[in-house]
A and B are shown apart, each in its own frame.
Chain A
Amino acid sequence: KNEVEQSPQNLTAQEGEFITINCSYSVGISALHWLQQHPGGGIVSLFMLSSGKKKHGRLIATINIQEKHSSLHITASHPRDSAVYICAVWGTGTASKLTFGTGTRLQVTL
């Protein structure tokens, strides 16, 4: 079992729909990233959070440390949101590294 699990693996939505991507992790963490990867492109960090909720434009990220769960929400989805969304966690301790989920491939259609 992976230390970081995401669901769903693939998601197709129509423009304007509200989208939720979930991330569960099994290890202690100091912070969690939500990342966006476009086809053939690099990875961009959308959010880094260790508690509560963050909002940036149409994107909202929440985390529940006790339940070891985080969600990424996209409101009023648009075709340009089509990408792979990856959850990644920083482990605890000074010698920690970023551990990634397998990603959620989102396709938003007109």
Chain B
Amino acid sequence: DTGVSQNPRHKITKRGQNVTFRCDPISEHNRLYWYRQTLGQGPEFLTYFQNEAQLEKSRLLSDRFSAERPKGSFSTLEIQRTEQGDSAMYLCASSLVVTSRIAFGSGTRLTVV
């Protein structure tokens, strides 16, 4: 078990471009979460999946953001038409069931220039 893996670690993109991040959770974990963290703040919830079903989306997740977990394993988070305000650390986490231990990836740091 290699923990939660996120790719890429860093992404620099020009405003208006689309970006996609990938998260590979711990294999037996059925819950997968996406969070966004800006400097000096705690992580903010974006969305989460139980298996392949997306159960909740935050109001922070505008229509430019979409997340998928097609086979209940890895997940992708896509941001279309990126804006400078999208610059942040995007964190992925997984857990077996609610209120169990949660494991975090190292995050993908996005910089929109």
Interface residue ranges, A against B (CB under 8 Å):
4, 30-31, 33, 35, 41-45, 48, 50, 86, 88, 90, 94-103
Q: Report the separation of the CA atoms of residues A4 and B107 in the bound assembly, to the nearest whole angstrom.
A: 22
Across the interface, A44 reaches (CB within 8 A) one of B33, B48, B99, B104, namely B104
Neighbouring B residues of A43 by C-beta, 8 Å? 43, 91, 93, 104
Neighbouring A residues of B42 by C-beta, 8 Å? 4, 86, 88, 100-103
Q: Report the separation of the CA atoms of residues A102 and B99 in the bound assembly, to the nearest whole angstrom.
A: 20
Residue-wise interface mask of B (79-113) relative to A, using a CB-CB cutoff of 8 A (1 in contact, 0 not) = 00000000000010100001101111111000000
Q: Report the separation of the CA atoms of residues A31 and B104 in the bound assembly, to the nearest whole angstrom.
A: 17
- B56 A95 Cβ-Cβ under 8 A: yes
Residue-wise interface mask of B (37-52) relative to A, using a CB-CB cutoff of 8 A (1 in contact, 0 not) = 0001111110010000
Neighbouring A residues of B93 by C-beta, 8 Å? 43, 98
Q: 14 interchain pairs (CB within 8 A)?
A: A41-B106, A42-B104, A43-B43, A43-B91, A45-B102, A48-B99, A50-B99, A90-B98, A90-B99, A95-B55, A98-B33, A101-B42, A102-B42, A103-B40
